[in-house]
Amino acid sequence: MKLIDIIRFAGKAATGYPTRTVLMLLAMAIGVGSVVVLSALGEGARRYVIGEFSALGTNLLIVLPGRSETVGGAPPLLGITPRDLTIADAMALRTSSAIRYIAPISVGAAPVSRAGRERETTILGSTADLYPLRQLEMAAGRFLPPGDPERGEAICVLGHTLKEELFGSAPALGETLRIGDYRYRIIGVLSEKGQSVGLDMSDIVVVPVASAQALFNNPALFRVMIEARDRDAIERARKAVVRIIKERHDGEDDITVITQDAVLATFDRIFAALTLTVAGIAAISLAVAGILIMNVMLIAVSQRTSEVGLLKALGTPGRRIVTLFLAESAILSLIGAALGLVIAALAIWVMSLIFPQFPIAAPLWSLAAAVGVALFTGLVFGVLPARRAARLDPVLSLSRR
């Protein structure tokens, strides 16, 4: 028997009983559809988080004071508090050729007032390098000028929301603002860039880092943000940072360097695992579809008992009868899987219309996996009915109408 004839015969058998065929296709389509849609959601979440992290800047390293790792060994006799990171420490990093920008950061909150309006606001102390590093944009004026970071000028840059709240539509450039006990001249307003990972850049005041330290009366930096020259330089930059700071801190290795790559890789792994888990849960529905296929094929075999008997009388060996019934369940699974992909594509399209900012997309592997699993379950669950058909006694099956 030729392959094309096997397919045609099995296809005719499938279309010969429309109700059960439609039910089977529906079960398979729902199974495949849910696998694809759920993994697309997982993939979308992954892309969303990675997109957010990339908005932070590229090739980024963050230096934190203190070590976050616990190292074994006897506890120190005297409690060791980590040495502060200072502006001088940050500036010492300039010697490394792997580093492009260095932005020491000091953060605190202080009351900001102007003409009777007062508001508690986040104050961010930094240098001119923060501008390219965080990929900021100006709505008006300019950012902090480059210069000696140890010198605290009384100038500030306002976030977009804060400017609206304090000045409304009136121009703010050149005006003065009171932060804590000091007066600052406004030299720029940031454009609406929105939030990126935890810090709302539109609701802050940016001042020179030395000014912030004076304001909070604290010479320690909150952290130092560093941009490496390029992707390959990240590791060199990390090593340089650790080495330089260690030298300056009397050989004490008391900082933690987080690279953006490492953070991204961690999130990547978390979301990949999450996507797989969700897809795995959806795959249960494929197994259910497989059991339905088995059920329906068993009914098909008992409905077609005399047909099987006839096929045997016409000289079809048992093996060929197995092939015919397996071909039928394979065809049904494949068509069901194709329908499932169409349903999934529609669902993803609708979701992308409703949530345009969420980057939902079905990963290719999920398409292949869903169709593969569908075909596999169709065949596996088709074996039992097909074998039952092949074992039918032709004499008994032909003795009835």
Binding residues for other proteins (CB under 8 A): 1-2, 5, 9, 12-13, 15-16, 306-307, 309-320, 394-395, 398-401
**Closest distance to other proteins from the beta carbon of 393 (Å):** 8
CB nearer to other proteins: pick between 17 and 267 = 17
CB nearer to other proteins: pick between 113 and 316 = 316
**Closest distance to other proteins from the beta carbon of 293 (Å):** 20
CB nearer to other proteins: pick between 1 and 197 = 1
One-letter amino acid at 260 equals Q
CB nearer to other proteins: pick between 63 and 390 = 390
**Closest distance to other proteins from the beta carbon of 21 (Å):** 12
CB burial of residue 247 (10 Å; 0-12, 13-18, 19+)? exposed
Pairwise CA distance, residues 357 & 177, whole Å:
36
CB nearer to other proteins: pick between 138 and 310 = 310
Q: Give the sign of the dihedral formed by CA 48, CA 104, CA 237, CA 257.
A: negative
Please tell me whether residue 352 adopts helix, strand or coil conformation. Answer: helix
Pairwise CA distance, residues 108 & 112, whole Å:
12
CB nearer to other proteins: pick between 300 and 373 = 300
Pairwise CA distance, residues 176 & 172, whole Å:
8
**Closest distance to other proteins from the beta carbon of 379 (Å):** 22
**Tokens 């604290």, residue?**
218
**Closest distance to other proteins from the beta carbon of 362 (Å):** 37
Q: Which of 171, 185, 111 is nearest to 139 (CA)?
A: 171
**Tokens 């943000």, residue?**
225
**Closest distance to other proteins from the beta carbon of 42 (Å):** 43
Pairwise CA distance, residues 313 & 319, whole Å:
14
